[in-house]
């Protein structure tokens, strides 16, 4: 693996500070700057890098980790201030930022030129948290996560703008941080995230928003289904305003389809005994079945390729450890683990996903060790 390069991170929120922590852990020299002196100081305190005091340091890479709405402006400034450095941004949308940079380069009153863009690469690490700010940062945030690399090209002519050196620097940084680089055009990225990131966020917020006025007695019946569907509804409104408005077109195209499905479902439920009504509902659920099996599993494995067994444990310290200890003694790898729980009880269920060929052997061994194991 190549040496990590001297890096300046402009913007020390959750992502910027996490990149700093990760690069520092890999031995890089990292400089930090942020319009908020507090955010900058916290990032330095947690070890994400050294604050820029006075003159800008000479660096080989600038990472613009600013909010989406100021990313293009910050990127242009970085390209002009650091004439030798590669400059990457990490915003969740890519087409609009490139369009803003091209507009600036075409504007004769702006010092930015198209040649500067040879050192620019748009990127997007597919990682985040429901929390924000440098306090929530962690160097391992990108471990095992996809990191999209979008070399800049002119959307009208197809001309490549990003130079190969800058693209390689971006990809190398992703690798150093433990991410897997996925290269694609900006438009493909934006359409992809509209579907696999922005739509789920909207759906989670729509469902959670309906819980605002729910009676407490109804909420007491909540199970894992509701919890799973709404988990990401705890996200930052200010950030999502910027993401959704910067990716408005691909998102709205998907929402047209969603609206049509909702309309059809409403018509059906307004007259549930009318002819064809049942078929309409069944079709919606069946289409969901068909879609969900297409989501890849862990490590890119085919979806749903693991067998599941459930162990009943008491809810006291050491029980899950004891189960997994015994699993390890059998030599079986746990591919995924879910805890099931609900209000009111002190017993838990641990669902273990393992390779199908190992399940029965593991269940038998665990039962032999006194565990209550359920195969399904």
Q: Identify residues 114-133 at the interface with a second copy (CB under 8 A).
A: 126-127, 129, 131
| Beta carbon of residue 21, minimum distance to a second copy (angstroms, whole number) | 9
Per-residue contact string for residues 186-225; x = within reach of a second copy by CB under 8 A: --x--xxx-xxx-xxxxxxxxxxxxxx-xx-xxxxxxx-x
Nearer of residues 85 and 323 to a second copy, judged by Cβ: 323
Give the interface segment with a second copy, choosing from 81-89, 102-110, 157-165, 297-305 (CB under 8 A). Answer: 297-305
Does position 237 interact with a second copy (CB under 8 A)? The reply is yes
- The residues in 143-162 that bind a second copy, with binding defined as CB under 8 A, are 143-146, 148
Selected range binding a second copy among 51-59, 110-118, 157-165, 332-340, rule: CB under 8 A: 332-340
Q: Give the shortest CB-277-to-a second copy separation in angstroms.
A: 7
Q: Which residues of 340-361 are buried (b: 16+ CB within 10 A; e: fewer)?
A: eeeeeeeebebebbbeeebbee
Residue 161 sits at φ, ψ, to 5 deg, of -105, -45
Sheet holding 372-375, edge to edge: 336-340, 347-354, 307-314, 372-375
Report the alpha-carbon distance of residue 98 to residue 330 in Å, rounded.
53
* Binding status of residue 245 toward a second copy by CB under 8 A: yes
Instruction: Give whichever of 318 and 368 is closer to a second copy, judged by the CB atom.
Output: 318
The tokens for 37 are: 């002196």
Instruction: Compute the distance between CA of residue 343 and CA of residue 341 in angstroms, rounded to an integer.
Output: 7
Q: What's the closest the beta carbon of residue 1 comes to a second copy, in angstroms?
A: 15
To a second copy, the closest distance from the beta carbon of 267 in angstroms equals: 9
CA distance 70 to 172: 25
Give 227's contacts (C-beta < 8 A, 6+ positions apart).
none
The burial class, CB within 10 Å (0-12 / 13-18 / 19+), for 223 is exposed
For the chain, the distance separating the N- and C-terminal CA atoms, rounded to the nearest angstrom, is 45
In this complex, which beta carbon is closest to a second copy, that of residue 38 or of residue 304?
Answer: 304
For 92, other C-beta atoms within 10 Å of its C-beta total: 25
Of 36-44, 152-160, 162-170, 315-323, the segment contacting a second copy by CB under 8 A is: 315-323
Of the pair 77, 199, the CB lying nearest a second copy is at 199
1 contributes a contact to a second copy by CB under 8 A: no
Considering only 45, 107, 115, 298, the residue that binds a second copy (CB under 8 A) is 298
Min separation Cβ 171 and a second copy, Å = 14
Is 276 a binder of a second copy (CB under 8 A)?
no
**Cβ 357 to a second copy shortest distance, Å:** 14
Residues in the chain, overall count:
376
Binding of a second copy by 259 (CB under 8 A): yes
Which of 327, 363, 365, 366 is close enough to bind a second copy by CB under 8 A? Answer: 327
DSSP 8-state symbol, 307: E
Nearest approach in angstroms of CB 101 to a second copy is 18
**Is residue 81 at the binding interface for a second copy, with CB under 8 A as the rule?**
no
* Whole-angstrom distance, CA of residue 22 vs CA of residue 35: 22
Smallest distance, Å, CB 56 to a second copy? 30
Residue of 147, 154, 145 whose CA lies nearest to 95: 154
Distance CA 310, CA 262 (A): 36
| Residues ≥6 apart with Cβ < 8 Å to 343 | 220, 222
Task: Check if the beta carbon of residue 248 is closer than 8 Å to that of residue 190.
Answer: no
2 lies in the site for a second copy, by CB under 8 A:
no
């Amino acid at each position: 693996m190549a040496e990590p390069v001297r890096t300046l991170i402009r913007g020390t929120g959750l992502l910027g500070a996490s990149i700093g922590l990760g690069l520092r852990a890999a031995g890089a020299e990292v400089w930090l700057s942020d319009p908020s002196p507090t955010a900058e100081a916290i990032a330095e305190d947690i070890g994400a890098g050294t604050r820029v005091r006075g003159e800008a340091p000479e660096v080989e890479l600038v990472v613009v980790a600013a909010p989406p709405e100021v990313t293009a402006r910050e990127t242009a400034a970085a390209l002009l201030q650091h004439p030798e450095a590669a400059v990457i941004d990490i915003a969740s949308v890519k087409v609009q930022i490139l369009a803003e940079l091209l507009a600036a380069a075409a504007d004769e009153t702006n010092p930015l030129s198209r040649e500067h863009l040879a050192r620019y690469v748009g990127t997007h690490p597919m990682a985040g948290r429901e929390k924000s700010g440098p306090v929530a940062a962690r160097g391992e945030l990108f471990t095992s996560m996809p990191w999209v690399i979008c070399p800049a090209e002119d959307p009208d002519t197809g001309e490549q703008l990003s130079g190969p050196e800058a693209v390689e620097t971006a990809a190398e940084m992703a690798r150093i941080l433990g991410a897997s680089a996925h290269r694609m055009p900006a438009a493909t990225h934006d359409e992809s995230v509209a579907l696999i990131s922005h739509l789920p966020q909207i759906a989670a917020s729509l469902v959670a928003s309906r819980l605002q006025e729910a009676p407490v007695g109804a909420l007491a019946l909540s199970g894992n289904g509701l919890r799973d569907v709404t988990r990401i509804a705890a996200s930052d409104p200010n950030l999502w305003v910027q993401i959704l408005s910067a990716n408005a077109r691909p998102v709205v195209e998907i929402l047209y389809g969603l609206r049509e499905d909702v309309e059809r479902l409403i018509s059906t439920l307004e007259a549930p005994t009318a002819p064809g009504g049942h078929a309409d509902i069944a079709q919606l659920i069946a289409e969901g079945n068909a879609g969900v099996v297409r989501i890849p599993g862990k490590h890119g494995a085919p979806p749903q390729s693991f067998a599941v067994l459930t162990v009943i444990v008491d809810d006291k310290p050491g029980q899950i450890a004891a189960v997994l200890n015994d699993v390890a003694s059998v030599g079986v790898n746990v591919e995924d683990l879910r805890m099931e729980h609900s209000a009111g009880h002190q017993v838990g269920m641990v669902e273990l996903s393992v390779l199908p060929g190992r399940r029965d052997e593991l269940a038998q061994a665990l039962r032999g060790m006194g565990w209550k194991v359920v195969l399904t």
